[in-house]
Amino acid sequence: MSEFLAVLSNYDLVGAYWLNIQLTFFAGLASLVIGTILALMRISPIPSLQFAGTTYVNLIRNTPLTIIVVFAALVLWPVLGVEFSTDFATNFFWLAVAALSVYHASFMCEALRSGVNTVPAGQAEAARAIGLPFLPAARLVILPQAFRGAIAPMGNTLIALIKNSTVAAAISVPEISILMKEMMENEGNYVIPIFLTVAVGFVIIVVPIGLAVTYLSQRLAVSR
């Protein structure tokens, strides 16, 4: 046991997890913003916006995440010229964030839409009846209630995002799964303890988030 701990101390596990947390944090924020815009498009009264939103969701949700991450590194940056930083590692970090955001935005959109479905139609009608146009009605009446009804599915999307952040390994962002592979290659005797350590690390990150989501979704539920 103490020998294994000595082996572990040679590697920066915390630093690698920290990358996963940063990927999750930035992609979580961006996917929430994009997902909200997509959801607005899908519930808007304008058919072309509905169509665009629906197309995005169906296209992205059915594309494997790895493909989108690789697309960011091999097309978005070199071909389409999207460069976040001249520093190679920083650029790849943000390309991974972009790919994770684009992908999870489609799930955030659907989570929020399921929240919109928890809001009775009468709420939107009452908002329209006092003279609120679509966007103010959405911002002031529908979305505040929809978010509160969407905490559980959005939390699930966030948890999926934490775990999916390891796909950034596909473009060599040195997050935890890359470190794990490196450790396993170097420390052949400890393959199983290494695996268990990494897995437990994720449990430590994910379980509190799951508990918080459950607590918040009950605490913030709109009483009707």
Partner 1 sequence: MADSSVTGVTADDDRGMPAHSGEPLVVLDSVNKHFGELHVLQDINLTVHRGEVVVVIGPSGSGKSTLCRAINRLEAIDDGSITLDGQALPEEGKALARLRADVGMVFQSFNLFAHKTILENVTLGPIKVKKMKTAKAKELAMGLLERVGVANQADKLPAQLSGGQQQRVAIARALAMQPKVILFDEPTSALDPEMVNEVLDVMVALAKDGMTMVVVTHEMGFARKAADRVVFMSDGQIVESADPDTFFDHPTSNRAKDFLGKILTH
Minimum CB separation of residue 210 from partner 1 in Å reads 25
CA distance 5 to 18: 20
8 Å CB contact between 102 and 68: yes
193 to 222: interface string for partner 1, x by CB under 8 A: -----------------------------x
Q: For the chain, state the CA radius of gyration.
A: 21
Residues in contact with 42: Cβ distance below 8 Å, sequence separation at least 6, in sequence order: 49, 50, 53, 54, 57, 109, 113
133 part of the interface to partner 1, by CB under 8 A = yes
148 part of the interface to partner 1, by CB under 8 A = yes
145 part of the interface to partner 1, by CB under 8 A = yes
Binding residue for partner 1, selected from 72, 99, 141, 180, defined by CB under 8 A = 141
50 part of the interface to partner 1, by CB under 8 A = no
What is the residue type of 122?
G
Q: Cβ of 82: how many Cβ atoms within 10 Å?
A: 14
Q: What is the 3-state secondary structure (H, E, C) of 169-217?
A: HHHCCCCHHHHHHHHHHHCHHHHHHHHHHHHHHHHHHHHHHHHHHHHHH
Q: Choose the binding region for partner 1 from 3-11, 89-97, 134-142, 173-181 (rule: CB under 8 A).
A: 134-142
Q: Which of 64, 136 has the CB closer to partner 1?
A: 136
Binding residue for partner 1, selected from 132, 184, 209, 216, defined by CB under 8 A = 132
Which chain residues interact with partner 1 by CB under 8 A?
A: 45, 120, 122-123, 125-133, 136, 140-141, 144-145, 148, 222-224
